Amino acid sequence: MNIGFAIKTIRTRLAISQLELAERSGITQTALSQIETGKKRPAQKTLDSICAALDIPQSIIYLVAIEDTDVSPEKKAVYDMLYPSIKTLALQMVDPAHHSLMNEK
């Protein structure tokens, strides 16, 4: 699971700079950079802050963060069939146009 990659992917889809997200999350830009590059794993409190700053549920980050190595070999065929669509849907929910619609409900 690559939480940092997921955060960076979502942040860039929302056109938020690393500095802006760091400030909104109450962490340093260096800390965010280390999270995004996988040098550090965010503490739960930090992940909560990042999700609040991005205005998304943590489940979206976890869906985007899934990697092939997270899936057992016996479930790999189902993963290969379903995950691309699930990831696309999760990222569409983060897209600025869809994101505003999701927050209206």
Q: 64: which 2 tokens?
A: 């985007």
Give residue 101's pLDDT: 47
For the stretch 61-100, pLDDT in tens is 999 999 989 999 999 999 999 998 989 888 888 877 655 5
Architecture of domain 3-104: Orthogonal Bundle (1.10)
Q: How far is residue 76's CA from residue 82's CA, in Å, rounded to a whole number?
A: 10
What is the structure's pLDDT at 98? Answer: 58
Q: Tell me the C-alpha distance between 34 and 6, whole Å.
A: 13
Q: Burial level of 23, CB count in 10 A (0-12/13-18/19+)?
A: middle
Provide the pLDDT for residue 105: 45
- What's the Rg (C-alpha) of the chain? 14
Give the domain ranges of the chain: 3-104
Q: What pLDDT digit, counting tens, does each position of 22-33 carry?
A: 999 999 999 999
- Measured between alpha carbons, how far is 82 from 27 in angstroms, rounded to an integer? 35
